[in-house]
Structure 1
Amino acid sequence: MDVMKQAGALKERLVDFALSPRFARELDEAFERSHPDVLADSEVATSMIVDHFVLQQRLASGDTVIDRFLRAHPGLSPQEREMLLGWKDVVEGVFEVKEKDQDAVILFNLVDELTYRARSNMGESAFRTVGKGMFLICRLVPLGADWLVSAHISLFPAEARDELLIQAAEVALRNPELVFRNPDKLAAARRMLAEQREVFIEMYGAEYIVVPGEEVPSQYDAFMRACMDRAQPGNTFPSPSLTYSDEMPDAETVAIHFDPETGISFYLDFGLLQELFAAPSLINRRRYRETLTSYLRGDDISPAAIRLLADPDPDNAGVVFGKLLKKKNFSWPEHGESLLRRYKARHFETPRLPTTIPVSETMAELLRSFPPDGPSEP
């Protein structure tokens, strides 16, 4: 069978499987959680949510729809199994049409700045209205040396370039993993991160500081201004604004941590836990116990935060976690890493990527031209 027909037939079977009653509850939950980061109409947005659920979403059991499909269809050929597993590698973005090439289009992704030759299982008709210089918002999956359009397409005229550049920058800032498909972008981000870490340590003398919550915005602004001055002395660009939780300004203490692999993180009530790890008997008090539990179980808190607390005094850390977990012989040096891997599995399953995202100078100029809340609605 022709590879395009094989892909079309396989994708149809996979989607039918995903839309079966066995996944109804989890698919409904996916729709409730999803707010696509793209300028797309409702039909395209729906298609993208379903496509993400089918190809990428982790189910409650920890596997994916593709994993379930493979187990349910042991008679698939090796080529079909390889194709399905390859579809977990999804490219999302805002694409500029560079040219048409027979039944394919050559697309430049404004998010990762890589070029893709894309085809559709609908053949040339899928790109009949697509012209050079136009823009597509879509999802692509591997198809041999090419890429296959995996969900509905949103098509925009060339005149929408500025708006779509801003959209691409916002997608990149929210989803670093999409940018870092490009190894040059990842290398550039790591260089930026190393320079910023030097600035942080020069300013504060350590890789983290603990301050009252109300001081976090001013400390962050001073740090970012120092980074910008180092990169381009004398610049007058506004420093990036800080987006933070409603609880942060009222927090008694917040740790501002510059992780060498990811960048800036904020940990609320960190000072309280420092008191606990200095005096383990405080674990008997509810507030200390509940705060540490929230750190351990909180999916948004990096294992790095717990290491910062535990590593200075491993013996005290062993006592604290032994009492919290009711394990008499708990030892932080012996059991700490397995504890983190158990409670922070997501952080170990995915690469630790920089939160500093390099964008093109064109994008940067456009973003600087708009107020902090972003461009006004057209």
Structure 2
Amino acid sequence: MTIYQASVTAPVNIATLKYWGKRDKDLNLPTNSSISVTLSQNDLRTLTTASCSSDFKEDKLWLNGKNENLQTPRTQACLKDLRKLRFELEESNSNLPKISNLNLHIVSENNFPTAAGLASSAAGFAALISSIAKLYKLPQDMSELSKIARKGSGSACRSLFGGFVAWEMGNLENGEDSKAIEIASINHWPSLKAIILVVSDDKKDTPSTSGMQLTVKTSDLFNYRIKEVVPKRFEEMKKSILNKDFPKFAELTMKDSNQFHSVCLDSYPPIFYLNDTSKKIIKLIEKINSDQKEPIAAYTFDAGPNAVIYYDEKDEDTILSEIYKYFGDVDGWNDKKYKFEQNQKINGVSKVILTSIGGGPKQVEESLINDQGLPK
């Protein structure tokens, strides 16, 4: 059995300027541009092996050991685009093996909870697109590949880059100008770090896609956000990143998180992604910043209750020692030790993840398939 294969790891990204709402559901075109930070793959990553063979009877996908449906319109749109690009390569070079029409076996593993508001679909589709692109030996223009990843999961397009990433919404109806670009590399601001407080690793009540559709349809605040607030904030946030202006970056990040959850609440019926624990974390970060007389920590919440808190390395002990007071008995602190105060403990956090800014997808030797083309 001849099996062609390639393995890639891809990162999670967490938006600081949120994407919420689609202007075209099929092409996954957003109603506004967004900005994100790519997190380190040492802590959060998807590993995917893509393989093809003339012996494979059908396209198959295994995620975290379970057989998953590969026939969804989104996934099929991505596979169609990638196969077309490979076919064009084969047409232009007769020496290339004809693999564009072979069935695929794809095996994928996350090292973090899936569908719990930790951007698993972003890392997952970024790894899927990148591994097949490597398998097919496609030109690695990540902005071009991001247009394919976008069709699978909007935020996945941002996980094709490391550092700080913008997803430009674009204006064309066919989506050709809706793509991700790098604002600044990992080396621009390497001291940026993050702590994630995993408030829930359960599947969320309202999936992002249906939540977006409801917001676009019913929220009056949403239209004000995308027309008046986001365009200006997009430029301000890019500037704060390029200037490494943490207080401004923090203010914009927290305001945008608050407004995103406000438009969810303004949907009818309302969508609740934050819970009581999330709200206590917001108050804790506000207290830390108030005590320091300036923002040294920035919380942000995606479509789930988990908190991602950005900070600069120079303020690490100040911030972590305060957070430790409330969550010091939770797993994930590694070798960090501060004073834990049992009487101040906040319940509802199951895990702490200490991480930092990270790089984009990378090819690896590790393979998830055996010599029969099945998961190991």
Task: Tell me the TM-score normalised to structure 2 length.
Answer: 0.28
**Which one has more relative contact order, counting CA pairs under 8 Å at least 6 apart?**
2
Which has a greater percent of strand? 2
Which has a greater percent of helix? 1
| Bigger Cα Rg | 1
